[in-house]
Amino acid sequence: MKISSFGEVLWDDFATGKVLGGAPLNVMVRLSNLGADTAIISRCGQDADGEALLQQVAAKNVATHLIQIDPQHATSLVKVSLDSKGVASYDIVYPCAWDKIALQADAIERVQQSDAFVFGSLSARDEVSRQTLNALLPHAKYKIFDVNLRAPHYNLAHIVDLMKQADLIKLNDDELQEIATFLGSKYHSIEQNMRLIAELTQTAQICVTLGSHGAVLWQDGTFHHHSGFRVAVADTVGAGDSFLGGLIFQLLHRTEPAAALQFACALGALVAAEHGATPNISLAQIESFINP
């Protein structure tokens, strides 16, 4: 299984220190942990943070040859604050190196070879990276859009344009409501708004995460629900990324949608119970968590 992603690589700066992060990278780390051949198309600065980032990405078995080095813009450093429930908020500096990802031939080749291509909304905030992403998307076999609305770093018109190019859209319930309202929805239920977005964007698969209450997957006209798993939350950083990694892993293995959703919810819960975005979690741990 060969999977690639596009977007931000960065350091999450916690009160306790810096941790490797960025949603497209977190998804690749999780998929690599599950056994996939992964690579990320991104950009970091020609600085000490960039050197350390490349070393850590490689140590997590994600290919680094498509991470460009920027001589002008710094490696991204994001200040992370956690509330009393472990829910994170982010202070994201603009511009930084991953805002300036250039189109390169080896990136196009990697996307063409991949079984799935994962991309997010944050890296589309700058025109340079957005144009590169739009040039790569036609080469992808299976396009997965991970919506991450981080105010003020997005434009809803750009978000909708990317949704129309995706085969699978993943977002949370708040993001669903905001985008549906932008599209003129009068609905109040999650299922109605998912169906509306599916129709307006011609997308066959939409997944909405509901935090501790699980997730809903719309696939080929059918809804699948999972009510989630209860854990003691350490922090929520990366839980949604691991959820998506687990869902992709199962869907590409053609697992039945309800079982794929259960696996993804379990993986997201296990990550939320640990500190940091990418703790090592084995398939055996996931199975014993689902069926203790």
Which residue ranges make up each domain of the chain? Answer: 4-290
Given this model, what pLDDT does residue 278 score?
86
pLDDT digits (tens, 9 = 90+) for 8-24: 999 988 888 898 999 99
Q: Would the pLDDT of 217 be above 90?
A: yes
Given this model, what pLDDT does residue 3 score?
98
Given this model, what pLDDT does residue 236 score?
84
Output the CA–CA distances (angstroms, integers) from residue 286 to 84, 99, 186, 253, in the order listed: 27, 35, 39, 16
**Which DSSP letter does residue 96 get?**
-
Q: Would the pLDDT of 238 be above 80?
A: yes
Q: Would the pLDDT of 216 be above 80?
A: yes
| Average pLDDT of the residues in 136-144 | 98
| Average pLDDT of the residues in 231-252 | 93
Q: Is 239 exposed, middle or buried (0-12, 13-18, 19+ CB in 10 A)?
A: buried
Tell me the three state secondary structure of residue 82: strand
Given this model, what pLDDT does residue 1 score?
95
Q: Is there a cis peptide before residue 138, judged by omega within 30 degrees of 0? A: no
* CA triple 18-32-52, angle to 5 deg: 30
**Helix (H) or strand (E) run with residue 109 in it:** helix 105-113
The whole-angstrom distance between residue 4's C-alpha and the CA centroid of its chain comes to 12
Measured CA to CA, the distance from residue 130 to residue 137 in angstroms comes to 11
Looking at the chain, which runs of residues are DSSP E strands? 2-6, 10-14, 17-21, 37-45, 62-63, 67-70, 76-82, 88-92, 116-120, 143-146, 168-172, 205-209, 215-219, 222-226
Could you say which of 3.40.1190.20, 3.40.630.40, 3.40.50.1980, 3.10.105.10 is the CATH number of the domain covering 4-290?
3.40.1190.20
Q: Would the pLDDT of 86 be above 80?
A: no
| Average pLDDT of the residues in 84-108 | 91
Given this model, what pLDDT does residue 276 score?
79
pLDDT digits (tens, 9 = 90+) for 245-270: 999 999 999 999 999 999 999 999 99
Measured CA to CA, the distance from residue 247 to residue 30 in angstroms comes to 11
Given this model, what pLDDT does residue 85 score?
79
Given this model, what pLDDT does residue 177 score?
97
Q: Would the pLDDT of 172 be above 90?
A: yes
Q: Would the pLDDT of 41 be above 90?
A: yes
Tell me the three state secondary structure of residue 212: helix
Tell whether pTM > 0.85: yes
Q: Is 169 exposed, middle or buried (0-12, 13-18, 19+ CB in 10 A)?
A: buried
| Average pLDDT of the residues in 60-88 | 91
User: Of 204, 222, 128, which is closest to residue 166 (Cα–Cα)?
Assistant: 204
Give percent of the chain with pLDDT exceeding 90. Answer: 86
Measured CA to CA, the distance from residue 39 to residue 114 in angstroms comes to 10
